[in-house]
Amino acid sequence: MNFEKSFEEESEYESGAMETKALGEDLETNTNEGEEGKENNIYTETRKIAEDLLVKYKFFNEADVVEISPEEIAENVPVFASPGWGVSPEAWSDSLKIIAEEGERKVVTANFTREEIINEEEGADIPASELQKALAIIDILNSKGLEEVDGIGHSEGGLNLAIAASLFPEKFRNLVFVSPAGSIDISREELVKRFAIDEGIEEMKGMDKGKILSFKTYLKAIVGSFLKNPILSHKEVDAMTKLDIFEMTKWLKEKGVDVGFVAGANDQVFKMDEINKKVGVNNIDNYLTTKGNHGSLIFDSQHATLAGNLLHNMKMKKVWKNDNKS
């Protein structure tokens, strides 16, 4: 379960900026208690519902899908980048370009609709507000003829990506979750406080003018997203406090999807010490900790490079395993 040596040698981050953990050595083997096979039944049953919903509704607008292609493509499996709550493609375009150019691969992302497409009854055991974003991901992949992708999911987008992959695991090869929702136990009130106050204070520390402008674009998208549908926003926050992403990643590992996870020591929303209580060998393949905060993937080019490199590293490990099967 260790990261390959080559990944550490290729990294050019400042000393101490990141730390890799070998799960079998540094972390306890955390397990989620519950009835055996309960999660499996949820995803199996919801898959059937999801397939019907994909026939019944269209979950995205063509104008809201953005594709970023590098000058040269060396990796034929694209990346779907699932954005955090309210984050527009413009708000994290610099990071997506880095992932595309350095990985020499296409990156696809989207602005999720603020319209409530499905109701709670249709969503079954998964909150409708999150299920419809997950189905938007699948709908986009289907419309683009993408049979298999890697994924990077940030904040709420990580939760949406995990749901999509849990329902349709055959469409995903490797997944990297960066500070994803559903990774800690938290109340609705505390989550709102951390997003609205604590994150903003942390993000503004030491920002230069360029990053402040990017942060303003980010805030504008966040506020706009809330104002477009406050009722849906409340439902999304509730869902983020109820769902457990590690139940999904455990299921994904069983289905052969490799899972990478990045947590930031200065993340004031999904705090690293709280995440560490739930991470274990049964639900994560690769775990990185950095000195980053919650929005580092958006505002820090090194974190974009890190996420892309981790995906590449996971691919190479999977290739090596397949080549060395007895």
Query: For residue 219, how far is the Cα from the chain centroid?
Result: 20
pTM: 0.87
What tokens appear for 123 in the block? 């969503």
What tokens appear for 16 in the block? 């101490």
What tokens appear for 50 in the block? 């999801």
Alpha helices (H) in 229-300, listed in sequence order: 230-242, 245-254, 272-275, 296-299
pLDDT of residue 26: 42
Cβ distance 11 to 18 under 8 Å? yes
Q: What is the mean pLDDT of each run of 10 residues along the chain (326 residues)?
A: 32 39 44 48 89 97 97 96 95 96 98 94 87 98 98 98 98 98 97 88 72 76 89 96 97 96 96 96 96 94 97 93 76
In degrees rounded to 5, what are phi and psi of residue 146?
-95, 110
Domains in the chain: ranges and CATH: 5-12+19-27+36-323 (3.40.50.1820)
Cβ distance 174 to 258 under 8 Å? yes
What tokens appear for 105 in the block? 């691969």
pLDDT of residue 177: 98
